Structures are given as structure tokens and as C-alpha cells.
A = this chain, B = another copy of it.
């Protein structure tokens, strides 16, 4: 069992890397993930196939990197909000705002196709799934944990509540509706989720 020699990253062509990213994202959006082949990415990027296989182990990894890059770049363009959940003191208001922004993102076709493709691949390809969760999902979820902890400090959430579980009450339903088309997605829906989660279903 020999490791393949590690290529020299310093000599890597940045132009090719970006062209591959762009081609991968474009193809996924245009023809869907399963029909997005490595050959097609290479052809579209004007790149040899080997240049892809040299730097990525699979097309899923190409797409994941391209998508992460897209996220980073978009964030940089938007500039402002350095990925925190606002803290106006009113937890419900803050959560609703963030979830509404998430709704917008989930419905943006630029994000939808690759995100869904990566999620799907991640279900079945465990290493990729773990990377997807670790690099994309967890950082987001951590922000909710932080905000919920701050709310606990302020007495707006019961102290015995586990924030890591609590956040799933409003995040997971939205995720499932989006991923599996189990229901429509709207501001009203996410607002309702926040209300239910904060105050429960049982009468007070």
C-alpha cells in the first residue's frame, strides 16, 4: 500500500481551481448532481481530468469545496454580519429574524442545487457527510447554542434546558421540510416554529 505522492500545492494553478469550482457549481445547477460528471467538469473548466483527480478525491469533494468557497465568498461580499445571531434581548424576535434569513437562503436557487446534492451525498457517503456537517452545519448550530445560552443567562430560557437539543426544535423541522419536501417553507412557518418551541404545546 503506497500513498500517492503529495503534489506540490505551492505550484497549484489558482485559475484552474476556480474554474473547476465554477464549472462544478454550474453543472450541478444545470443538469443535477448525478449527471454532473468529472469529465464534464473538466471539459467545462477547460482543464485536464488529472488536474481534478490530483487535488480532490472525488466529485463530491470538489463540489463541497466549491460550495464552501461560494459561501465564504458570499459572506465576504455581504460583508457586514460576521455570522452571529443578533441579540436584541428578545429571543423570539432574534430567532425569527435568523430563520427568515435562512428561509431566503434555502429558496435561493444558487444555493439550493448544490446544497441539496451535498446533503444527499452526505447521507450515503459518511466521510463526506461528516465533513459537510462539521464545516457547514455545526458552525451554524453553534451560533444558536450561543444565543440560547445568552438567553438562559437573561432568564428567558429555563436553565436546565440543553441548548444543543433545544435548537433542533426549530432548526430541524425547517431542514426536513426543505430537504424532503414534507411541507411548504415560509416566514409564517418559521415564526410558528419559534413560538411553539419557546412556549411549548401544552397549555399554561
Contacts and interface: CB of A to CB of B under 8 A. Distances in A.
Copies of this chain, tallied across the complex: 4
Given A33-B124, A181-B133, A202 B157 contact: yes
A181 B131 CA distance: 11
A164 interface: yes
Interface string A179-204: 11111000001001100111111111
A101 interface: no
Contacts of A153: none
A156 interface: yes
Interface in A80-130: 116-117, 119-126, 129-130
A130 B181 contact: yes
A120 B169 CA distance: 22
Interface stretch (A17-25, A67-75, A170-178): A170-178
Contact of A180 (B133, B173, B177, B181): B133
Nearest to A119: B123
Nearest to A33: B124
Contacts of A141: 182
B124 A180 contact: no
Contact of A124 (B116, B137, B148, B198): B116
B133 A124 contact: no
Nearest to A137: B182
Contacts of A169: 169, 173, 193, 196-197, 201
A158 B122 contact: no
Contact of A165 (B33, B130, B189): B189
B116 A123 contact: yes
A135 to B, nearest CB: 13
Given A137-B180, A199-B202, A124 B117 contact: yes
Contacts of A165: 173, 189, 192-193, 196
A36 B126 CA distance: 17
A34 interface: yes
